[in-house]
Amino acid sequence: MQGGTTLAEVAAGPLPVSAAPRVPRRERALVRAAQRGDPAALEALFRAHWPAAYRAAWFIVRDRQAAEDIAQEAFLAALAALDRFDRRRPLGPWLRTIVARRAIDAVRARTLRREVAVEAAAGAAAHDGPDPVPSDLGAALAALPDDQRVVVTLRHVLELTPGEIAALLELPRGTVNSRLRRGLDALEGWAREAR
């Protein structure tokens, strides 16, 4: 409070709702070079963001090959749209949103294909005996129904808000909240059993 500014004047001033995340200079430079078509910059961005993109896809689809395909397709889509990307923003969240959208689309497509053979699969699973109790959190998350796993992953792995999840999935926010609650309750039950 230098220069004669009082605490009341500071308190009365505008409060930033949310400051834009700070983007490291190196990433800004790499994005700028990639926008110009520099293959070395594209490779550096790929190497920097591949692990998070793959992990985001895997948590949603629970299939290594599908997660790899989805992450690769998301990178290609991001490259195609890189000219529209705002370099003042971090690349990671933008890319993970593209990955999440593609992974959700893959889960929806897989669910539609599965609906045809649900009764046959349920009958076969009933004869295999009970499912083993998941031994780690990843397995517990994978054991959740698709609708709950996707919402829990988007909220707690990709750190989207419930409102952002609702918009992404084109669902009412109440539906997102109820799926999130059911998923977290199931994970809490798993955690109690694991102790």
Model confidence over 9-41: pLDDT tens digits? 433 444 344 445 677 889 999 999 999 999 999
| Predicted confidence (pLDDT) per residue in 58-88, tens digit | 988 888 999 999 999 999 999 999 989 888 8
This model's pTM is above 0.75: no
* DSSP-derived secondary structure letter, 72: H
Contact 143, 133 (CB under 8 A): no
Calpha distance 41→32 (Å, rounded): 9
What is the per-residue pLDDT for 169?
85
DSSP character at residue 82:
G
What's at 179, amino acid-wise?
Answer: R
State phi, psi for 22 to the nearest 5 degrees.
Answer: -80, 130
Gap between the Cα atoms of 143 and 134, Å rounded: 8
Segment 96-142, tens digit of pLDDT: 889 999 998 898 887 766 655 454 444 444 444 444 334 577 778 87
Q: Residue 48's pLDDT is what? A: 94
pLDDT per residue as tens digits for the range 125-184: 444 444 433 457 777 887 888 889 889 988 888 888 899 888 888 899 999 999 999 999
Q: What is the reported pLDDT for 20?
A: 52
Per-residue model confidence (pLDDT) at position 34: 93
